[in-house]
Structure 1
Amino acid sequence: MSTKSRNPVPLRVALLALAALAGSALPRSAVSQQPVEIAGRLLDAGTRAPIAAALVSIPALDLSTLTNANGAFHFVVSPGSHTLEIRHIGYGTRTTEVEARADGTLSLELHIEPAAIEVAPLEVNVEWRPSYLEQVGFYERRAHGNPRSRFYDPEDIRRGGDPLIVGWRNMSERMLNLNRATSFGLCRPQILIDGRRDRIGFMTGLAHHRIGGVEVHGEPHKVPGLEPLIRAGGEDGFCPTVLIWTRQWLTAAELEERRIVLCEPDPGTDRAPLVVEGTVTDALTGLLLPRATVTAWITEPGGRRREKETTADDNGRFRFCDLDPRTDVSIWARFAGLSGELAPVSGETAPVTARTAPVMRDLVVPIARHGHVAGRVLDLQRGEPVPGAEIGLTVAEAGPVPGDRGPSAEAGYLTTSDEHGLFAIPDLVPGDYRLAVSHPDAGVAGDTIPVPSGSTVDVRVELDPAPPPAPGAAASAAGPRIVAERRHPRLTEVGFYERRRESATRGRGHFFTPERIRALAPTRLTDLLTEVDGLREVCPRQTCRLLSPSARRCSHMSVHLNGTLVIDGRAWDFEQGGVDDLLAPHEIVAIEVYLRAVSLPGEFAAPSNRCGAIIIWSG
């Protein structure tokens, strides 16, 4: 495509006419510089085929044209030397010098070689998929594309560095956000490592090189095939969940490459070094803590202090090989941001010929915390508490306590329900336990319950006094059962469970736990509250109010949201909205209902609550 002279012939005529008009005014030497023609043809050097659509230009004169189908091109220029520039996508850029004489037309036949075409590098991303992650369904779930799920593959984790791509605090915040976002945001986030629940917080100490994949699911029940996997790990398929797939994804060679090798003492030293070795374990469970950091605090004879660090291997073993025996040494370990106590090491001077054995010092770090069990035993048929029931608890791995025999003397923990059917077993090592409950008149029940680190598990035991069905007979739909619920940490802080326990002994209030709210699945808050006997809903217009007939001269109940009075029972214009306008049911964690002012706990006793109160706790 020509940019300056599309047709050289008119240009030639114009130049000749211009010269004729100016001839009388120009010197003789200038008149003799008549325009000349350059007529050329562009051919392939190998095939001699014409090259069409090549751009031929004379940059100095700002002239250009395209070769036609026969490869021909044409210019009208002044006599002299000119540089031709040829451009073509298949031949690249070529330049040549030509001499145009005034005595005639310059005919050219140019042969050029094809040029290698420079193509931008083609980036092909080939995703490496470890077979382990394929087997557990990681990529299949990722392909499903659930908007409330996040996936981190090995490459993501490598880029994230150490510690994990989203450190423990960030992960906690992320999970809490997911917890609020899901319609089942009534339970605390749960963590599974390789399909097993993380009871003592090992996730906080996992380095990125040990992790092959991470899945964060806000609504795991909506991801095909995921809920059975979570339930197999002993968790709830409706609760926000983090799945961590660890170093099983590495090959044997990679494991060996990343293995921590403990040091060996140097036999060539003049003085026998002080060698200290041992293991790092969790203080409560005794589990080994891999890759824990161990620090030696060294005090030299002059009083100067310094530190030396090493890392425990994947089996939780550590070793210092070159400590000076003339110094005072104390060691301590850290894991997952927690530290253990100092352990002193006595250093003594020893000659080379009397080399002593390593000093053994095992270290502990308080990772896990005690769990607790609190429960109540009820008669299934009458709904009344069962006092005097025997409760036995034993570690599940040690062998179950048969439910039809009741607790035995071999059970790890034994207790009895009080007059209100209540019992408590505190300070348990985290793990799975077998609970067995029996009463001579009310029957027996048994089941395995999980006790997480630092949590209290509420247990509701319903005993059926009816005799068991005869062999071959169909079992009744009703029967003895044990329901275990892990306490919500925020509800523990605000005293919800303490008030519920006190209400069980005095009959003061009605309590809706997260699990009960989820089971009832109400569409409106009032649908949930009217489950309370004696509480009725009145809707004179579009806004409904809740009335407690047991309280005299009261028109409606007060409502507290997270400890703050939001609807004053004494003076509230319900044209502004009612309890259903406060929150959606899925945003509520728990509810307390007190039908009368005299039944209110001390912290909620106020003139505004003389008609009773509804206490709502949101997520």
Structure 2
Amino acid sequence: MTEPLTRGRRGPAAAMVRASLFAVALAAIPAVVPDGMAAQEAVEVAGTVVDDGTGEPVDGATVRLADASGSARETITGADGAFAFAQVAPGTYALAVRRFGYELLSTPLEVDAQQPPRVDVRLTPQAIPLDPLEVGVEGRPPDLVESGFYHRMEEGWGTFFEPEWIEASKVGFVRMKDYLWVLQNRAPLSRCEKVPVYLDRRPIGTTPGWGTDDAYPGGIFTVGLDRLPPLLEEMSVSDLGAAELYQPGTKIPMFAWTFTTAVCGAVILWSDWTARLPEIPKIEVKLCESRGRPEEVALDGFVEDEVTEVRLPAAHVSASYANPEDPGGLERVETVVRTDSLGRYRVCDLPEGVVIHLTPEYGPHAGGPLVALAAADGDALKLTVPVTSPATITGMVLNEATSALMEGARIVLVDTDFRTVTNAAGRFSLEDLPPGSYTIRAVCAGYTGSPQEVELAEGGNVAVVLRLRATDLARRGTCSI
């Protein structure tokens, strides 16, 4: 039997990528058994995960199957892209597949005792920008970031021209002074006769304004503008990387604040070198191979983002353990390895039975340590690093007819395992959520209501109001109102 599946929700924005799910092969999920299902009814479900573009198996994908109560099991695909779970009771489940470089995919799955579904998961690859990486993940030039350019832009100080816009608009211009009118026409022009121009924090000349400010005839605060160095005359437009325009009476960066700029505003230019992105080196990591010496073992695992559960390539894993050859037990052996493109790491040639401390790092972010025993048949150890800032949804549930707050209503993020219940004041909070798009709904026996779409930014907090209306079965409801 082939079971057609559809995607139930969009994955986390910052961290996941679009994927499509079509029907194929599932067999073997243990112990996700809904209430009331007999053990003898359990079936096997198995399948494969492949790249939608190439058809190649996807190694290292995490496959998760959850029942209606939230109980779930996970497994990881092997080199052939196959996964398997065993003894799945018939019923409705949520199947989710995630892999670094692909979108989180979540969809309902019906399991039939007579015809166990076979499902083929096809994922569409796409690069995922994770913030922050070691080298400018957001695509923002580090030198321009350090100048305060983006901070002022996000605070809404003036009119900003980012490197991409500058690069596209300066085509056909040669001299900087001829190009400035392009910038000035994008914002209300100063009524001063001359407007100071700065380059990389230094005054370099003036550009014509709209006229003479009536409040300051003769330019009482413009004395000395003619003595500014005439560097602007010498500049080529090819030297420009970004720009800021400030109008009279607005916030102005301290390095450009004078009586003149307070009255007439300022044009702040940033040279091309400040707007350059560093080259991101290609990091190829090959996991170590154990030398197979007696009484030595290797320890395997993977590193992922604590919030989005995205696998992290090129993360560092520090491993240390007490040297078994030191009689005093004070000497420690330390080593550092890196994860490969699939977020996997391996520490080789460990004395069997030693207690090892593992600490992951990803760029400037460090995860908590994990203590494990080095064993020949040990499971893969998951390490997490808090790269993405979690988001929160808060809100309340109201009786649509009476506007009374409803205690005991269940709050569900559709097609996810996130849920909670409203408190005595009818309020709720869902915390530690990955950023992304969600559908949220309130559930109470005897009541009905419409779900809402919620978009969560990284570290964001969204407030919602959910309304429920009574049905003919409202008297049987379990909510308090």
Q: Indicate the TM-score class for this superposition, using the shorter chain for normalisation.
A: 0.3 to 0.5
Normalised to the residue count of structure 1, the TM-score between the two structures is: 0.28
- Larger Rg over CA atoms: 1
TM-score (norm 2): 0.35
Tell which has more relative contact order, 1 or 2 (C-alpha 8 A, sep 6+). Answer: 2
Q: Which structure shows the bigger proportion of residues in helix conformation?
A: 1
